[in-house]
Structure 1
Amino acid sequence: MERPSDLYDRDREWSDLVAFAVQGGAGTHLGLVRGRRRQGKSFLLRRLAAATGGFHYQAVEEERSQALRSFGAALGAHLSVPGGQLAFGDWEEAVRAVTDLQRNVRPALVVLDEFPYLLTHSPELPSVLQRAIDRSRDGGPPVRLVLCGSALSIMARLLTGAQARRGRASHDVMVSAFDYRTAAQFWGIPAASVAFLVHAVIGGTPGYRDLLPAKPPSRSGDLARWLAAGPLNPASALFREDDYLLTEERPLADRTLYHAVVAAIAHGNTSQGAVAAALGREQRAVQYPLKALEEAGFVNRHDDVLRARRPIYRVADPIIRFHHVVTRRDLARFEDRRTAEAWPEAQPRFATHVIGPHFEDLTREFTFRFADPATVGGHAAIVGPAVVNDAKARIQHQLDVVAVGRDHRGTTPVLAIGEAKHTTKRRTLADVHRLERVRQLLDEKGVAARDAKLLLFSVSGFDRHLLAATADRPDVELVDLERIYHGS
């Protein structure tokens, strides 16, 4: 099936959905499509429905009777019934109507978009779908049913635990934000330094481009102007995007609590204990909100690569982190459009809690997805942070990047260790010596790291002594922002 010409990237997602839509076999097959809002899920599914002659229904927030009427109107228009309207008394009738659709050549495609909206007033729908799917297995017409939603925790629960769809969905397609390289191309930003700053603020969400009328900055010095016209403009839809995103996840009912947890993490409290201390609560009191935020996709949990019992938490979405660090701390002035006053004072927070952590995230992504095996020392199976204790010196060494491999014997050698600090200073030989010391400590602890490569990441370059000393050292890799974006 030909790929739509107006579809940017999304090659794998399109291929997966086409494979599901034309999948052979009788009966109703179930597929899920999920992802945060503005990632292009509906855009993708509308084009799939158009290409297959399928039925696409976009649910909205309305009452049950209204939803049944609008569903009947949409299906009636699709089937070109006289009067253009089908009347359904309940969802049992509505589901039976779509699971009985028949096509001559290929299976009938049915898309229920923003499915969580329907669950708000019709919690019986999952059980209704279960019965319809099971009934169709006895020689029913081939129908490919797609449930799509932006509320990640609700969509995830459709496939977990005792939910009725467990074992019945043959496809589960996650539509995620663009990676940082694809995002730079999508926005048309060739300069790595500028693309990095833009990505630190809004990430790789493609739908944000339509919400920002101002062109992206062409140089770093234009960032303040672009922010004032977009994310920091109270008239912009992105000004309160963090609140909109949390509101969408209905299970996160206590928004004050969840905003407080996200704010604590965004300001550098990355362990469970640190989050609890920032909120003035006991550790056990933050376990549930942390887990709920993780399930909803707002927080990422990173286990220490070398010691799995030391998880750290990061805010997953750049726009949420940006607003909690920058906007919410000085909301009155930003709402009053006094950005010229407020932004300079916010820049230290921006540098420490937005740019710094984001640079670390990108170095790990580069190491895992884009770096050549020669750079990393092999094929990395896991990449993450770690903490290494130096008992003799009574200090802890923070490793921003640890790449672990997996060989044919099942062993997990450490391929590379690295440090990524976003500073204005050039990296020096002292940074390499520190990594050498950590490599030695790991070897002494019995970790297979004797041959680990040393990765030093920098946005400000490397001094001449470091360049000279490492020119002939195959175990040291100096990686700048240009290489992160355009090299391997």
Structure 2
Amino acid sequence: MPSATERGERSVSPTDAAAHPVKPAQVFDRETEWADLVGFACDPRPGATLGLVSGQHRQGKTFLLEALAKAVGGFYFDGQAAAEAETLQRLADRLGEHTRAADPPRWQRWEDAVDALLALGDQHPALVIIDNFPDLVGPSPALPSVVHGAYRRLHQVHRHNRARLILSGGAPALMRRLFSAPSSLHRLASLELLVRPFDFRVAAQFWGIRSPRLAVQVHAVVGGTPAYRRDLVCDDAPTEPDDFDAWVCRTVLNPRVPLFWEARNLLEGEANHADRALCHSALVAIAVGCSTPGGIADRIGAPLTDVAHVLAVLQNRGLLHGEPDAFRPGLTRYRIAEPLLAFEHAVAWPHRAAIEQEDAAGVWRRVGTAFRSAVAAPHFAQLCRDWATEYAAPDTFGGHPETAVRGSISDPAGHSRLDVDVAVRGTVDGRPGVLLSVGLARWNETVDSHHLERLRHILSVLAASGEDVSQTRPGCYSAIGFGPELRAAEARGEVLLVDADRLYHGE
């Protein structure tokens, strides 16, 4: 769910921001999210409003919302999976503490509880946060409709009420299901905010990592999920590139550290054991390079219909991304969205017994090659695609980049497949979908002139197939560096070169 800023709705002006609480120092980054949240909470205009906050587990939603409630004096309630009567009792006790009531209210129905919460906004803007809202809906399926009915009554009878209710929790797909018909809460929401993982540059800052190559390696293991550092490894970060192997052994390969078990926990919500088993098998196949439904089905020996089902489940939960091939739009390629899951299924899953029984350093010496080829290399390529759309300067590709994905074409001459790691499309002079660049990404290889020749051959094959390549620049991406002939070609304007330093610091 996009934020209000991303949807082009009301954003916080400098004048507004001056009157709003400053983001607490303990909240790292999240400037845009904080501005959207305080703008919603402090909106002085009459009329009760509703905000929906979603995001994958451990992205810092609760941390952010608790800080917001404290900053504006709002009411925060952390929902838990419990019987309805128990939840109503706990909610009443919390509200009594918040309002300092001599006798806390006693409710028998959610209708009375929701009315009481919204009544906090009768006299002034009042922030009310119900976190982990999906956990409350399980025992009380009618709760979204109850909230919708309460807002309908307020808008009819108490139009000057200024309650600012935020419902939070769960992946965006789960929140969409909760708030679809019959409750239709989406129609009431004036804020829909998605708390995402930190992007790769922000994640490096969060972990305190200065070496770009080390930053790629760490991001390939833990991604941009903030809780992994704060809660699951107790702020243990690699101090230098030479410390990476030891850091892996003392954290993600250490059964005594919570991070070791986290990848399994990410799949515990599946409906049944059979689904979970097939999910693991599909993730292993993707982690070792199978990206299409047919290829995954062939790898694990399962019916294509069953594979399509688990891919849809994982994608709905935000654990997989499905993207069209750059040159064959009808072909969907899947990649694991959560780096820890990719690490688990490419490296740890096949060696679980050894990791739990043997010395981690010895196991890592055996599986480190799998990390470099099946995890670090494709992850580096994905960061290169992210850089192309998020950080490249406007003139880098000679147009405005809009997408950067993988692609493959058949080579008629060699009867083989030609792979492109970074295919960038965008807008040039108002024309959308222009192929701006085709690129190769190499994690552990010095890139030189023969890579450029391969790209030129790819461009000739694309041109012969009818693709307009008149605006297409060859691009070479390497975490190691580039040979002298390729540097000379760059000086002549024949190729775009992006190393790890430019990935993290340049445009």
Aligned to 2:3: none
2-side partners of 1:11 and 1:252: how far apart? 41
Structure 2 partner of 1:367: 388
Mark the runs of 5 or more structure 1 residues left unpaired by the alignment.
none
Q: Show the counterpart of 1:220.
A: 241
Match of 1:475 in 2: 494
Q: Which residue of 1 aligns with 2:114?
A: 95
Normalization by structure 1: what TM-score?
A: 0.94
SS at the partner of 1:270?
Answer: coil
What residue identity is the alignment partner of 1:477?
Answer: L
- One of 202, 208, 214 as aligned partner of 1:182: 202
Q: Alignment partner of 1:127: what SS?
A: helix
CA distance in 2, matches of 1:8, 1:306: 39
The partner residue of 2:302 within 281, 289, 297 is 281
How far off its partner does 1:160 sit?
4.6
Shift of 1:78: 0.9
CA contact (8 A) 1:249 1:296 kept: no
In the TM superposition, residue 246 of structure 1 has moved relative to its aligned partner by 2.0
Unaligned stretches of 5+ residues in structure 2: 1-19
| Cross-structure match for 1:133 | 151
CA distance in 2, matches of 1:23, 1:158: 26
- Residue 116 (structure 1) aligned with residue 137 (structure 2): no
Note the C-alpha offset of 1:151: 4.1
Q: Cα distance, 1:79 vs. partner?
A: 1.2
Aligned residues: CA RMSD: 2.0
In 2, distance between residues paired with 1:457 and 1:205? Answer: 25
Displacement of 1:181 after TM fit? 0.7
Compare 337-346 and 11-20 and name the one that shifted more. 337-346
Amino acid paired to 1:120: G
Q: CA 1:286 to 1:220, structure 2 compared with 1: closer, same or farther past 3 Å?
A: same
Corresponding residue number in structure 1 for 2:503 = 484
Deviations 1:367-402 (A, max 9, x none): 111111222222102211111222233222111111
Preserved CA contact (<8 Å) 2:172 2:194: no
Q: Does the 8 Å CA contact 2:399/2:428 hold for their aligned counterparts?
A: no
Counterparts of 1:162 and 1:408, CA distance in 2: 45
Q: Distance in 1 between matches of 2:310 and 2:81?
A: 26
Residue 197 in structure 1 maps to residue 207 in structure 2: no
Identify the residue that residue 357 of structure 2 maps to in structure 1.
Answer: 336
Secondary structure, counterpart of 1:478 in structure 2? strand
CA positional deviation for 1:253: 8.3
Q: How far did 1:322 drift? A: 1.0
Q: Following the alignment from structure 2 to structure 1, what is the Cα–Cα distance between the partners of residues 491 and 249?
A: 47
2:186 alignment partner, SS class: coil
> Are the equivalent residues in 2 in contact too, given 1:426–1:458 (CA < 8 A)?
yes
1:418 aligns with 2:435: no
Stretch deviating more after TM superposition (309-318 or 342-351):
342-351
Q: Secondary structure at the match of 1:381?
A: strand
1: distance between equivalents of 2:157 and 2:193? 26
Structure-2 change in CA distance of 1:316 and 1:115 (3 Å):
same
Counterpart residue number, 1:391: 412
What secondary structure does 1:400 align onto?
A: strand
> Is the 2:384–2:503 contact (alpha carbons within 8 Å) kept by the matching residues of 1?
yes
Residue 471 of structure 2 aligns with which residue? 451
Q: How many residues are treated as equivalent by the alignment?
A: 484
Is residue 2:237 matched to residue 1:255? Answer: no
Distance 1:5 1:220, change over 3 A: closer
How far residue 214 of structure 1 moved from its aligned partner, in angstroms, is 6.0
Q: Match of 1:451, as an amino acid?
A: Q
Q: Structure 1 residues 466, 262: CA separation in 2 closer, same or farther (over 3 Å shift)?
A: same
Could you tell which deviates more after superposition, 347-356 or 402-411?
A: 402-411
Once the two structures are superposed, residues 165-197 of structure 1 have per-residue CA deviations (whole angstroms, 9 ceiling, x without a partner) of 232222111111111111111111111111111
User: What residue is the counterpart of 2:340 in the other structure?
Assistant: 319
- Residue 358 of structure 1 corresponds to 379
Contact conserved, 1:234 with 1:337, CA < 8 A, in 2?
no
Kindly state the Cα deviation for residue 43 of structure 1 after the two structures are TM-superposed.
1.2
* Cα-to-partner distance string for 1:86-111 (whole Å, 9 max, x where unaligned): 21112121111112223544x21111
Alignment partner of 1:178: what SS? coil
Instruction: Please give the alpha-carbon distance, in whole angstroms, between the structure 2 residues aligned to 1:352 and 1:156.
Output: 37
Give the Cα–Cα distance (whole angstroms) in 1 for the partners of residues 316 and 342 of structure 2: 17
- Cα distance, 1:143 vs structure 2: 1.2
The residue that corresponds to 1:349 in the other structure is 370
Please tell me whether residue 32 in structure 1 is matched to residue 55 in structure 2.
Answer: no
Q: What SS does structure 1 have at the residue aligned with 2:121?
A: coil
Q: Which is worse superposed, 260-269 or 158-167?
A: 158-167
SS at structure 2 position matched to 1:450: coil
Match of 2:422 in 1: 401
The 8 Å contact of residues 291 and 335 in structure 2, kept in 1 or not, is answered as: yes
Q: Is the 8 A contact 1:417 1:452 kept in 2?
A: yes
Q: Distance in 2 between matches of 1:81 and 1:70?
A: 15
Match of 1:272 in 2: 293
The answer to whether the aligner puts 1:17 opposite 2:73 as a matched pair is no
Q: Displacement of 1:354 after TM fit?
A: 0.8
TM-aligned CA deviation for residue 215 of structure 1 = 3.5
The secondary structure found in structure 2 opposite 1:351 is helix
Whole-angstrom distance in 2 between the partners of 1:471 and 1:278? 40
From the superposition, tell whether residues 101 and 337 of structure 1 become closer, same or farther in structure 2 (CA, over 3 Å). farther
- Cα distance in 2 between the residues matched to 1:188 and 1:320: 23
Aligned to 2:254: 233
Q: Quick check: 1:389–1:397 contact (8 Å CA) kept in 2?
A: yes
Deviation at 1:307, TM superposition (A): 2.4
Give the distance between the partners of 1:236 and 1:482, measured in 2 at CA: 31
Q: Which residue of 1 aligns with 2:326?
A: 305
1:171 partnered with 2:166: no
Q: Take 2:430 and 2:506, find their aligned partners in 1: how far apart are those partners?
A: 31
C-alpha change, 1:244 and 1:448, in structure 2 (3 Å) is same
Asked if structure 2 preserves the Cα contact closer than 8 Å seen for 1:453 and 1:476, the reply is yes
Amino acid at match of 1:400: D
CA shift at 1:271, angstroms?
A: 0.6
Measured against aligned partners, the alpha-carbon deviations of 1:243-279 in whole angstroms (never above 9, x if no partner) come to 2222246699832222222222122221100111122
Task: Determine if contact 2:399/2:427 at 8 Å carries over to the other structure.
Answer: no
**Change over 3 Å in CA distance of 1:151–1:337 after alignment to 2:** farther
Question: CA 1:377–1:407 in 2, change beyond 3 Å: closer, same or farther?
Answer: closer
Counterpart of 1:293 in structure 2 is 314
The CA deviation at 1:334 is 1.5
Cα distance change, pair 481–161 in 1 and its aligned pair in 2 (3 A): farther
Question: Which residue number in structure 2 is paired with residue 146 of structure 1?
Answer: 166
Letter matched to residue 435 of structure 2: V
Amino acid at match of 1:325: A
Larger mean CA deviation between 38-47 and 359-368 belongs to 38-47
Distance in 1 between the 2:180 and 2:441 partners?
37
